[in-house]
Structure 1
Amino acid sequence: MEQTRPGQRGNNLDDVRRNNLAIVLGLAHVRGRVSRAEVTKMTGLNRSTVGGLVAELVELGLVDEREPGASSHAGRPSAIIVPREDIVAIAVNPEVDAVTIGLVSLSGQVLKRIRYDTARVPTPDEVVNIVGAVVAGMRGELDSSYRTVGVGVAVPGLVRGTDGEVVVAPHLDWHNVPFSAMLGDALGLPVVSANDASAAISAESTFGSGRGARQHIYLNGGASGIGGGIVINNELYRGLSGFAGEFGHTLVNSAGMLCHCGAHGCLETEVRQSALLAAVGLDAAESEQLESVLLAEFARQEGAEPAVLELVTRQVGFLAEALRGTVNIFNPELVILGGFLGLLYAVAPKLLESGVRGRVLMGPREDVRFARAELGLDLLMIGAAQLAFAPLLADPASITKSRLKAS
């Protein structure tokens, strides 16, 4: 979701400056490295204005300027702008079987990821304690080497956008939990929480397979079920309260199992990671091995275990049924599949694509293409960090002066 032209300019010079600083920092953030000449071309700002903005971002400690490499173009090569690697966000993803904590740089690089396995589904207080202990263990490194913007939390549930309250995370059994406030009080840092799939689509749109696609849909499958996100004209569609994208509760089997939402045959009751793990003899702690095992099983072809082939075929069919309505309604150019749904696509890509196209109207089926999420295990860490970076990216100068801090 890259911004390449100046946005709304505001009504005074301060508004213009803040907006233009945000544009330049945003380009460096998304691209990782961008030349002054490229910024001038993409924004329409003149060279002297761009030079002043870059100098201010350097002074604020948000970007560095580096000498360009060799160039085949005539004239003096343009300096390269890169985001500072010591500007970081803490990323958190609570799940039914673990809490994962990461450290992510402004360039979108995951510098550290720690998975803390839990013996049972963690309570909100337990997650706060786990995150607090991990951050305390990193305290020396954070204080000496980094400036921490804040904390982003990717929650497998419905999160109200206005205050970060977890309205319901059914698989975690969390209800009306003011989690952002709880974690913020414990860490002394600003905390932003959102649905995990919404956070993930932000990461994929910025750094992954969604780059360049203006209209795309993302579906993610994890231990806690299936969620998703919708990007329309490069903007994440959140719905009135931030709850949009609950594709896991699409009806795919009218004779299916009872879902926790009260309906029967929802996508996330019929397409489950736990069933795939059980079919190949893995437990939840071995979920990272699932892809290699399934790919090996499918590579055997005639020697493959029939029950495994049947289960994958059935789950792919239900996923195709869910995508039928999604593609017909939204007419996306791209459907991105992440988590274990990306794994299903990797194992049986032709089966899924033909299953969707065979169910979708002629127009939308000609437009849509499919891709697996590119960011892998880093996806939710980067997505959660994007939540924390958002205020800084929107107003670099004021956030730096008032909230950017050493931990």
Structure 2
Amino acid sequence: MPTPPSPALGTRPHNLARILRLVHENGAQSRAALTEQTGLNRSTIADLVAELVRRGLVDERVPDVPGRVGRPSPVVTASARVVAIAVNPEVDAIEIAAVGLDRSILVRERLPNESLPTPDAVAEVIATRIAAWREGPLAAVRIEAVGIAVPGLVRSSDGVVRNAPHLGWIDVPLARRVQSATGIPTVVDNDATLGAIAEHRFGAGRGIDDIVYLNGGASGIGGGLIIHGAPVAGAGGYAGEFGQNRPRISADDDRRTADGVLESEVSRALLLAAVGLETADDETLDDELSTTDSPSVADEVTRQAHVLASALANAVNVLNPALVVLGGFLATIADLRAPQIEADVRALAMTESAEGLEIRPAALGADRLLIGAAELAFAAVLADPGGAEAQADAT
């Protein structure tokens, strides 16, 4: 995800951005807490907050504290009335939500696909849902941008989907098409990259700056990297394609393909088949896998956990992360086979590289990709809140 240019350090625009990001990422903050965290004086904080309130980006209230002597410090929260439209088009369904700047999800829908969605169909769905929501739950909000998390290689500089193989999209200018259909600024990036950002800021990776994230979805397995606290996308924006790597599989019983990549061996489709389902959302699949007493299902989960661990060990050896986060159906495997995965990774990875390593399921669950897409959509306003005023005046 490209980082929008930020105002110069120490300037008023920079301080506005600091305040907005603090309440966006950390939740409600008193003016006193903002003063302590930023080192700015109380009058400067009051002035900055007043400007953000005027721009509609934050709300401020005086808390009612029974029995307190004196006036308590006003509490500042990011506004739920400034929203991003977050979208995750997948082979089985299109998920779309309106996410507030306070990270609340105002409305969310999962729209199953009867066939693989085309880029034009996705653009039409987004435009149709926004129009409908503007007559209902989004009647009184300001839509900042549309953020789209795509399961494929995305040139993040211009939102061109270079290759989403499971969707059948090649060199699709998706950002331009959706912006044309909706009239709203649109940004696009890889789904796992955005999932990594969401889990780093708000989920299992909060407070940890060296993370490998693997996302398991209907389209396969993708990955995202956080190194020294920053997302790493590679020269073209395509880093993290763990699903296309070939795991080392020593036991023949663990192999399902002659020379398959990770996402062919560790597969949501194989898990669905094991429990006798053609399609399901993550929650349904998780419930089926967690409650079944079928030995064949248990064997398949165990097999996939062994193969997944071999891929994780390779990542640990190369990147030496402090944390591995697993999302989607991989989170279910991690929950069901945690001791096995940890033991396998430590057996296969270099001892020194695995020192202190933790492996966790994604904490944001089914929201992770939508929260990540919303972060992409909010990136410009978080970097420079002054731009929001110009945009609001132009609409």
Which residue of the partner structure matches residue 290 of structure 1? 285
Contact 1:62/1:84, CA 8 A, preserved across alignment: yes
Counterpart secondary structure, 1:241: coil
Which residue of the partner structure matches residue 300 of structure 1? none
Distance 1:241 1:72, change over 3 A: farther
Offset of residue 78 of structure 1: 2.1
Which residue of the partner structure matches residue 17 of structure 1? 12
The 5-angstrom pairing of residues 70-89 of structure 1 reads 70=65, 77-89=72-84
Distance 1:219 1:143, change over 3 A: closer
Offset of residue 75 of structure 1: 7.0
Letter in 2 for 1:225: G
Distance 1:380 1:52, change over 3 A: same
Offset of residue 265 of structure 1: 2.1
Offset of residue 404 of structure 1: 7.6
Match status 1:65 vs 2:60: yes
Please give the alpha-carbon distance, in whole angstroms, between the structure 1 residues aligned to 2:301 and 2:291.
13
Letter in 1 for 2:344: G
Contact 1:147/1:404, CA 8 A, preserved across alignment: no
Offset of residue 199 of structure 1: 1.0
Counterpart secondary structure, 2:135: helix
Please give the alpha-carbon distance, in whole angstroms, between the structure 2 residues aligned to 1:380 and 1:8.
25
Counterpart secondary structure, 1:284: coil
The 5-angstrom pairing of residues 263-342 of structure 1 reads 264-285=259-280, 287-297=282-292, 304-342=293-331
Contact 2:200/2:206, CA 8 A, preserved across alignment: yes
Which residue of the partner structure matches residue 3 of structure 1? none
Which residue of the partner structure matches residue 119 of structure 2? 124
Q: What are structure 1's unaligned runs of at least 5 residues?
A: 1-6, 298-303
Counterpart secondary structure, 2:144: strand
The 5-angstrom pairing of residues 208-227 of structure 1 reads 208-227=203-222
Please give the alpha-carbon distance, in whole angstroms, between the structure 2 residues aligned to 1:345 and 1:72.
48
Which residue of the partner structure matches residue 100 of structure 1? 95
Contact 1:218/1:229, CA 8 A, preserved across alignment: yes
Contact 2:282/2:328, CA 8 A, preserved across alignment: no
RMSD: 2.3
Match status 1:368 vs 2:357: yes
Letter in 2 for 1:372: P
Q: Residue 386 of structure 2 is aligned with which of 369, 384, 397?
A: 397
Counterpart secondary structure, 1:93: strand
Please give the alpha-carbon distance, in whole angstroms, between the structure 2 residues aligned to 1:279 and 1:106.
40
Q: Residue 147 of structure 1 is aligned with which of 134, 142, 146?
A: 142
Counterpart secondary structure, 2:102: coil
Distance 1:183 1:244, change over 3 A: same
Distance 1:213 1:405, change over 3 A: farther
Offset of residue 350 of structure 1: 0.8
The 5-angstrom pairing of residues 91-240 of structure 1 reads 91-141=86-136, 144-240=139-235
Counterpart secondary structure, 2:247: coil
Aligned residue pairs, count = 387
The 5-angstrom pairing of residues 47-62 of structure 1 reads 47-62=42-57
Q: Deviations over 1:22-65 (max 9, x none)?
A: 01000010012011222222222222222211111111111111
Mean Cα deviation higher: 287-296 or 90-99: 287-296
Counterpart secondary structure, 1:212: coil
Counterpart secondary structure, 1:10: coil
Mean Cα deviation higher: 230-239 or 248-257: 248-257
Please give the alpha-carbon distance, in whole angstroms, between the structure 1 residues aligned to 2:394 and 2:129.
19
Contact 1:335/1:369, CA 8 A, preserved across alignment: yes
Distance 1:316 1:394, change over 3 A: same
Contact 1:209/1:336, CA 8 A, preserved across alignment: yes
Offset of residue 309 of structure 1: 1.9
Q: Residue 381 of structure 1 is aligned with which of 361, 370, 391?
A: 370
Mean Cα deviation higher: 123-132 or 333-342: 123-132
Counterpart secondary structure, 1:337: strand
TM-score, normalised to structure 2, is: 0.92
Q: Deviations over 1:243-284 (max 9, x none)?
A: 11111112114796779xxxx321111100010011011121
Counterpart secondary structure, 2:159: coil
Contact 1:277/1:287, CA 8 A, preserved across alignment: no
Distance 1:374 1:170, change over 3 A: same
Counterpart secondary structure, 2:139: helix
Offset of residue 68 of structure 1: 3.3
Contact 1:147/1:405, CA 8 A, preserved across alignment: no
Counterpart secondary structure, 1:343: helix
Contact 1:253/1:265, CA 8 A, preserved across alignment: no
Distance 1:364 1:308, change over 3 A: same
Counterpart secondary structure, 1:24: helix
Mean Cα deviation higher: 351-360 or 149-158: 351-360
TM-score, normalised to structure 1, is: 0.89
Which residue of the partner structure matches residue 346 of structure 2? 357
Q: What are structure 2's unaligned runs of at least 5 residues?
A: none
